[in-house]
Amino acid sequence: MAVPDDTLWKIEPHTEAKHAILREYLKAWIPILGQSMKKIAYIDGFAGPGKYKGGEPGSPEIALRCAIEHRENVDQMTFLFIEKREDRIKYLGDHLADLNPPDHFDIHLIHGEFEDVIGDELDDIQKEGLRMAPTFAFIDPFGWKGIPMPLLHRILDYRSTEVFTNFAVDPANRFKDHPDEGIRNQIKRLFGGEIPEKQDPMEDGHDFIRRIYK
Between CA 159 and CA 135 the distance in angstroms is 9
**Alpha-carbon torsion (116, 121, 127, 131), positive or negative:** negative
Q: Is the pLDDT of residue 1 over 70?
A: no
Angle, CA 165 vertex, CA 91 and CA 199 arms, to 5°:
140
Output the pTM of the full model.
0.93
Question: Beta partners for 76?
Answer: 39
Bridge partners of 57, per DSSP, are 51
Contact in structure between 210 and 174 (CB atoms under 8 Å): no
| 8 backbone φψ class: left, alpha, beta (φ>0; ψ -120 to 50) | beta
pLDDT the model gives residue 142:
87
Domains of the chain listed by start with CATH number = 13-166 (3.40.50.150), 169-214 (no CATH)
Distance CA 52, CA 7 (A): 9
Report CA Rg, the chain.
18
Q: Which of 78-82, 98-102, 175-179, 195-199 has the highest mean pLDDT?
A: 78-82
Q: Are 44 and 82 in contact (CB under 8 A)?
A: yes
Q: What distance in Å separates the CA atoms of residue 96 and residue 204, rounded to the nearest whole number?
A: 43
pLDDT digits (tens, 9 = 90+) for 17-70: 999 999 999 999 999 999 999 999 999 999 999 999 999 999 999 999 999 999
Q: Which helix (H) or strand (E) holds 63?
A: helix 59-69
What are 124-164's pLDDT values in tens digits?
999 999 989 999 999 999 888 899 999 999 999 998 999 99
User: Cα–Cα distance between 21 and 66 in angstroms, integer?
Assistant: 13
Average pLDDT, the chain: 94
CA distance 81 to 97: 13
